Amino acid sequence: MRSSGDRRRFGIGTALGAVPLLASALVLAALFAPSAAARDFPLPPLPNEADIYPFVPVPVPAKDAWYDDPADFGPLNNGDIIRTREIQTYFLAIPIPVYAKQLLYRSTDARGNPLATATTVLVPGIPWIAPGERPLISYQEAIDGLGSHCNPSFTIRAGLMKETSLMGQFLAAGMAVTMPDFDGKKNTIMSPSEGYMVLDGIRATQRAGLGLERAPIGMWGYSGGGNSTASAAEAHGSYAPELNIRASAQGGVPGDKVEIAPFAMSGKQFQANFTGWLAVSGLAREYPDFDEVLRSNLTEDGLRVLEDLSDRCLYTTFLTTLPRPVGEYLKDPAVLQNPVLQRVLRESSLGQPAVMPRMPILMWHSTTDQLLPAEFASDPVAAKYCAAGVDLRYIKVPATEHISAEIIPELGTVAWLTAVVAGADPGPRVC
């Protein structure tokens, strides 16, 4: 028998079915909004993704007490479960036919402070017919938004999770999936804490009594999800060595933040403005000293842009930042050389000698990535991995750009991870 909540949810199927049309309307409204020069204000009247939420019968995380921190973090270890709930997941208005449970768990930020974040565990009804335990895939969506309503624990319930089809390939193979809110409730994008939240999400999943305690584990993510996946692969050996992670597939990884930052903030490639604003916004939320230096060097208009982006998700963040390079809103462009900013960018970069991955790695990147050029992003990380003897495969995807380089090799990356986690040989190394 369905609960009243279920009846209400199914009773407004027509409204939920309008979600794709509403999303399209948001994009069209943004594209045809009055244009403005980079420093002209007020901002063009771009809508926010949250404008469609009155049509979705799920409360946003900011208004959902289930996400609240525990009264005391003291008794909890990293990966311990704070509370759980069974949910119904959707793709647009269509229920996804899997068992779904959400876990709120303890993790830690980049400065060692405790935090609570969520993961959504999906278990298909079909059996795992290969030898051994049903595998568990930690799937990191490219969240790329600064509002907690951008996180997959909300969007998978609202039917708006943009990578549902890709993630579903693992479910179709009989694997369980855990999908963490790896930027936490504050959406601290590109912080080292992303890796901790991924690993603690796996810990919580294996402690949830779902029959996954001994499951072999794989990790998959692209772009923003690739950053968190790669961060977790590097932190695994020191932070969560007990986890049986057999492989990591990570594409479009924004690896060397020190090199990426000047490019993404320069305005040389207008689509990369998105990367620059997201990175500085996310890191400022994690590091108070970074935030202080950034805000003191942003112009008045720059502070308004920062505020306007503070709860946007991927689509309207991208459109809002297209005409606005971060560099044009800095009082002094040389501020990037500030010791505080350089320290945080280094700490957030991948490929550091003390934390090399210990499992087989598959990396891939577009040869002509306009958001994250490979020479600033994955190439330096791959070179460091090779020098350190990491079990690496690195593929450069030709005739693509950032988005198509996720989609074109998708079947191959999913098949590789599925096979290796199930016990297959990972294949020859690239170096």
Label residues 357-396 b or e (16+ Cβ within 10 Å = b).
Answer: bebbbbbbbbeebebbbbebbbbbbbebbeeeebbbbbbb
CA–CA separation, 397 and 412 (whole Å): 12
pLDDT at residue 44, rounded to an integer: 61
Task: Report CA dihedral (32, 142, 230, 198) to the nearest 10 degrees.
Answer: 140
Task: Indicate the number of domains in the chain.
Answer: 1
Token code pair at residue 96: 């996804």
With the C-alpha atoms ordered 103, 101, 20, 15, is the resulting torsion angle positive or negative?
A: negative
What is the DSSP code (8-state) at residue 111?
T
Q: Which secondary-structure segment (H or E) carries 137? A: strand 136-140
Whose structure tokens read 């997959």?
152
How far is it, in rounded angstroms, from Cα 196 to Cα 199? 5
DSSP 329: G
* 121 φ, ψ (degrees, to nearest 5): -100, 130
- C-alpha to C-alpha distance for 252 and 185, rounded to whole angstroms: 24
Phi, psi of 250, rounded to the nearest 5 degrees: -140, 115
Helix, strand and coil content of the chain, in percent to the nearest 5, comes to: 45, 15, 40
DSSP-assigned states of every residue in 193-229:
HHHHHHHHHHHHHHTSSSS-TT--EEEEEETHHHHHH
Residue 409 belongs to domain with CATH number: 3.40.50.1820
Q: For residue 380, what are the contacts with CB-CB under 8 A and spacing of at least 6?
A: 255, 256, 259, 351
> Residue 250 in 3-state DSSP?
strand
Decide if 181 contacts 118 (C-beta within 8 A).
yes
Instruction: Cis check for the bond before 428: say yes or no (omega within 30 of 0).
Output: no
Provide the domain limits for residue 109. Answer: 1-431
- Choose among 374, 352, 353, 348: nearest CA to 363: 374
Q: How many CA atoms lie within 13 A of 422 on its CB side?
A: 16
Strand partners, 48: none
Query: Residues in the chain, how many?
Result: 431
Calpha distance 131→275 (Å, rounded): 43
Residue 299 CA to residue 312 CA, distance in Å, equals 21
- Short-list 301, 292, 274, 302, CA closest to 145: 274
First and final C-alpha spacing in the chain:
57
Tens of each residue's pLDDT in the chain, 431 residues: 334 343 334 333 333 344 443 444 444 444 434 334 444 455 566 888 888 887 888 999 999 999 999 999 999 999 999 999 999 999 988 999 999 999 999 999 999 999 999 999 999 999 999 899 999 999 999 999 999 999 999 999 999 999 999 999 999 999 999 999 999 999 999 999 999 999 999 999 999 999 999 999 999 999 999 999 999 999 999 999 999 999 999 999 999 999 999 999 999 999 999 999 999 999 999 999 999 999 999 999 999 999 999 999 999 999 999 999 999 999 998 999 999 999 999 999 999 998 999 999 999 999 999 999 999 999 999 999 999 999 999 999 999 999 999 999 999 999 999 999 999 999 999 88
Strand pairing class (81-86; 98-108): antiparallel
3-state secondary structure of 4: helix
> What pLDDT shows up at residue 24?
44
Q: Which helix (H) or strand (E) segment is 178 a member of?
A: strand 176-180
Residue 235 has φ and ψ, to the nearest 5°, of -80, -15
> Which secondary-structure segment (H or E) carries 100?
strand 98-108
pLDDT at 57: 87
